[in-house]
Structure 1
Amino acid sequence: MSVPSGAAGVVARPRRAVATVVFVVFLDLVGFGIVVPILPYYVRSFGVGDVFIGLLAATYSLTQFLAAPALGRYSDRWGRRPVILFSLAGSAVAWTVFGLADQAGTAGGVVGGVATLFLARALAGAMGGNIAAAQAYVADVTPPERRTRALGLVGAAFSLGFIFGPAIGGALASETAVRMASTLPIPATRFSLPAFGAAGMSLVALGVACVALDEPDRHRAPAERTTLVSQFVDALRDPRLRGLVLAFFLISVAFAGVQVMFIPFVADASAYRFDATGAALLLTYVGVLGAVNQGVLVGRLSDRIGSGRLAVVGAALLLVSLAALPFAPELGSVVPAPGGPAWLTRELVALLGVLGLLSLGNGLLNPSLAALVSVSAGPAEQGTAFGVTQGAGSLGRTVGPPAAAALYALVYWSPFVAGAVVVLPVIVVLLRRIAREETVTE
């Protein structure tokens, strides 16, 4: 049975299907997060400059940008399930190769080791484009009025993955874990074990998807030959998607740049002087709030005010919090004395408040934008639309970090304020969309 245009895809148990996709995304993102703590040290172990750390991070986003539209398009043609399974298997291969870079360095020198890192990171980024297929799957099996809530759960899986992943990675990189694994028939180092752990998470996700993920019966797209450029050109020509593609790009530029420079800021600011452990705790705090915001608040608020207005609220909160972040120490002077332990200073309370606002804004904005993409695209083009917008986000994450680093070297507060300025056009785009929709309905 084919699904008529405009209808949601048919699966036997749609709620279980959504839960399965969310769980698979969570496992995949845990794997991604596992390697985050070791990546800079892994690069430095080959004796190369820190510039390679930024280049390696950009490689992931660049290949994700190139692959996401293709994976989304293929999921429209061949099905969501095959694309998700293929990409999870590819991720397992990528992280395994990543863990073998030490051995490649022993055999081929610095060039061989670093080249292996880049090859593995590029493959992992390309396979990371499967999020477009996962979002399209959720859109397939969820009625339009519940899509923001369901896509918010996918966003919550992202946040939870980044909470648990780095913690697991740190544990696997410990001397105790390396010593315990030294008896196994694998190269056990503080770099290889986290990478193999990430590969293991991808394999677990692959097993879950194989067993529990059904392909929705839906309207399929015709088998047209398109290119990455043509997909973006088509999306930018479509008045329903043009502004959303721009929004995903700009939000990613702003947020990725701030993510990169946040840890240097809290390490350099005299009011904080946080080490890596303290910075990690702050990131965990933001991740926990993000999971709550996207998993609980988004669905309830979207039912009341709609995805468009919720996106505007999220963007406005993000703008304010980005602009306020570098001035959190000064804002602490107007915060009442919190009392309690000595480490809980006014400046820290102000920072926690700003970070909470930032997490709320980002948590409201991202799933709302995804829901707007879903309702803007036809039922046969869900994967393509999500692939293009995810690709725009990946491109933004490629551009944002180096730009923010350059600004930070000039003036410490400039990347945060610049991020806030970049969000402003997003609010304009969303307000114009709301006004246009209200005009049509009158």
Structure 2
Amino acid sequence: MSDDADPGGDRGDEPVPGLSRRRAVGTLFLIVFIDLLGFGILIPVIPLYAKFFGANEFVGSLLIATYSLFQFVGAPILGRLSDERGRRPILLLSLFGSVLAWTLFGLAGELGQTLGLVNGLAVLFLARALAGAMGGNIATANAYIADITPPEDRAQGLGLLGAAFGLGFVFGPAISGVVSSPFALAALRDVLPAFVPVSEFTMPSFTAAALSAANLGLAFAVLPEPRRREPSERVSAGDRLRRLYEAARSPGLGALVLSFFVASFAFSAFESQFIFLTNDQLGYGTAENAVLLTYIGVLIAVIQGGLIGPLTDRFGEYRLALAGAGIQAVALALVPFSLSWPVPAVGPVEGGAVALALVSTPLAFGNALTNVSLNALVSLNAAAEEQGGAFGLTQSAGSLARTVGPALAGLLYVVVAFWSPFVVAGVLFLPVLLLLGRVSREAVRPAE
């Protein structure tokens, strides 16, 4: 029976005053989705915006990594503040911070003309750091879910937040491609006041800021403070690093957590250098890259949402994790060399883009297999009362990998060659295969 219909039930047990549990979860899903939509919009913009200021690929990669670094540090701080001050005020504060961050990001080009390119680039880093710190609100959103759902329904609620993440990464780049297209930019120059800077970098930034502002208004209007069931555990960034170290040494979870870290590290290296590659080798700008990133995001979402279940039932998580790692090892190494394949154009799509799409298809498939299967294996190897901590480990491992991976990949791109970060990313999946080989087959659920 729906919890909207609470026949004679005790409304004093209502987790959110004036709002049913289902509506509260749905509202939080919408808020997290719009928040991640703003983040996704900037993905095709950031590398090329850095190059606009004269930065090389290494500095641009540091700009990409800045978000994850400050999110890693900011998440436990916002989570702790939400325990002390309430979930709603911290969510509103973080959304307001996102509005400021993305607005400042869009104005960096204008400020660079006034303050100098180096100072303008510093503004980009400042805006990116603020956005990352505010993006740590996922810890508060998770705590909100824990407040309004009983333990037996908590995994489903947290899964919905994960879906909001995925959808934000799918639709964000698509919106970026639309607002940065030549047609849209020409139309916006005709309708916007002259003092508003219009470019392929500013319009996605301002769109992200506008979405965050609308999200702030939505949260202020409809999201009340929940009744807290229990204070959430306070975990600092140092604690998260310590737990990762301890988990890596654990005989049960160590190989799986290390596998997740290395896999996230390798794929983040690919993501961070992909736009540099297409810009340098194909001359692609924000709009063209947005199309390619949207294609990859849609593939991953479809595979995770529709194919993983039947494949897991047929082959089991262990085999799928191995298969996904093997596919990525080959596909990642092929990415930079696919640009020279003699692939014919398909309609308006030139051969280089077709080749990238061909190699990105198995890559997306392998990434979806690996991510979902490794998360499932970590869960299966953790005790029932340790599920939250187990998922926290993978989240921390992923955040740390997305901080270090882009920086090192950018250094390889500049110092060695444009193809080197992709080849190294592929090679890194070989240790993943070895680590998974250490996982006891008896410790995982066999295929039916």
TM-score by length of 1: 0.75
Separation in structure 1 between the aligned mates of residue 436 and residue 65 of structure 2, nearest angstrom: 28
Tell which deviates more after alignment, 80-89 or 116-125. Answer: 80-89
Alignment partners' CA distance in 2, 1:156 and 1:21 = 15
- 1:106-121 aligned at under 5 Å gives the runs 108-110=115-117, 112-121=119-128
* Separation (CA, whole Å) in 2 of partners of 1:403 and 1:110: 24
Aligned partner of 2:357 in structure 1 is 352
Kindly indicate whether residue 269 of structure 2 is the aligned counterpart of residue 257 of structure 1.
yes
> Secondary structure of 1:174's partner?
helix
Residue of structure 1 in register with 2:284 after alignment: 275
What amino acid is aligned across from residue 236 of structure 2 in structure 1?
A: T
CA shift for structure 1 position 286: 1.1
Establish whether residue 228 from structure 1 lines up as the match of residue 228 from structure 2: no
Whole-angstrom distance in 1 between the partners of 2:429 and 2:15: 37
Aligned residue in 1 for 2:136? 129
Larger RCO of the pair (alpha carbons < 8 Å, separation 6+): 1
State the secondary structure of the residue aligned to 1:294.
Answer: helix
- Greater shift in the superposed pair: 161-170 or 347-356: 347-356
CA contact (8 A) 1:68 1:388 kept: no
| 2:169 pairs with 1:159 | yes
- 2:206 alignment partner in structure 1: 196
> Cα distance, 1:366 vs. partner?
2.9
- Specify the code of the residue in structure 1 equivalent to 2:284: D
Partner residue of 2:38? 31
1:121 to partner: Cα distance: 1.2
Q: Where does residue 318 of structure 1 map in the other structure?
A: 328
- Do 1:290 and 1:359's aligned partners in 2 also have CA atoms closer than 8 Å? yes
* Structure 1 match to 2:67: 60
User: What are the residue-to-residue correspondences of 1:2-401 with 2, within 5 Å?
Assistant: 16-40=23-47, 42-43=49-50, 46=53, 52-72=59-79, 83-102=90-109, 104-105=111-112, 108-110=115-117, 112-134=119-141, 141=149, 143=153, 150=160, 153-171=163-181, 174-182=185-193, 187-190=196-199, 191-211=201-221, 220-221=230-231, 227-238=236-247, 239=250, 242-266=254-278, 273=282, 275-276=284-285, 278-299=288-309, 301=311, 310-328=320-338, 341=347, 351-370=356-375, 376=382, 382=388, 389-401=394-406
Shift of 1:122: 0.7
For residue 119 of structure 1, report the CA deviation from its aligned partner: 1.5
Instruction: Return closer, same or farther for 1:40/1:326 CA change in 2, 3 Å cut-off.
Output: closer
Distance in 1 (CA, whole Å) between partners of 2:145 and 2:374 is 14
| Residue aligned with 1:100, SS | helix
User: Is contact 2:377-2:444 (8 Å) kept?
Assistant: no
CA RMSD in angstroms, aligned pairs only: 4.3
Looking at structure 2, the residues matched to 120 and 188 of structure 1 have their Cα atoms a distance apart, in angstroms, of 17
Work out whether residues 37 and 170 of structure 1, in 8 Å CA contact, stay in contact via their aligned partners in 2: no
Q: Secondary structure at the match of 1:182?
A: coil
| Among 421, 433, 437, the residue aligned to 2:427 | 421
Question: What is the alpha-carbon distance in structure 2 between the residues aligned to residue 90 and residue 158 of structure 1?
Answer: 18
Equivalent position SS for 1:220: coil
Per-residue deviation at 1:124?
A: 0.5
In structure 1, distance between residues paired with 2:135 and 2:279: 30
CA drift at 1:97: 2.5
Q: Say if 1:427 and 1:79 are closer, same or farther in 2 by CA, change over 3 A.
A: farther
Q: CA deviation at 1:355?
A: 0.9
1:363, CA displacement in angstroms?
A: 2.4
Distance 1:188 1:377 in 2: 54
Aligned letter for 1:26?
F
Deviation for aligned residue 1:19? 4.3
* Letter of the 2:211 counterpart: M
The aligned residue for residue 435 of structure 1 is: 441
Q: TM-score, normalised by structure 2?
A: 0.74
Change (3 A) 1:113 1:150: closer
TM-superposed deviation, 1:280: 3.9
Aligned residues: 420
Deviation, 1:356, is 1.0
Q: Give the C-alpha shift of residue 138 in structure 1.
A: 6.1
For 2:120 and 2:345, how far apart are their aligned partners in 1? 51
Structure 1 unmatched ranges of 5 or more: 1-8
2:42/2:173 contact within 8 Å kept: no
- The answer (yes or no) to whether the contact 1:99–1:192 under 8 Å persists in 2 is yes
Separation of aligned partners in 2, 1:260 and 1:134: 27
Report if the CA contact (8 A) 2:58-2:410 is conserved.
Answer: no
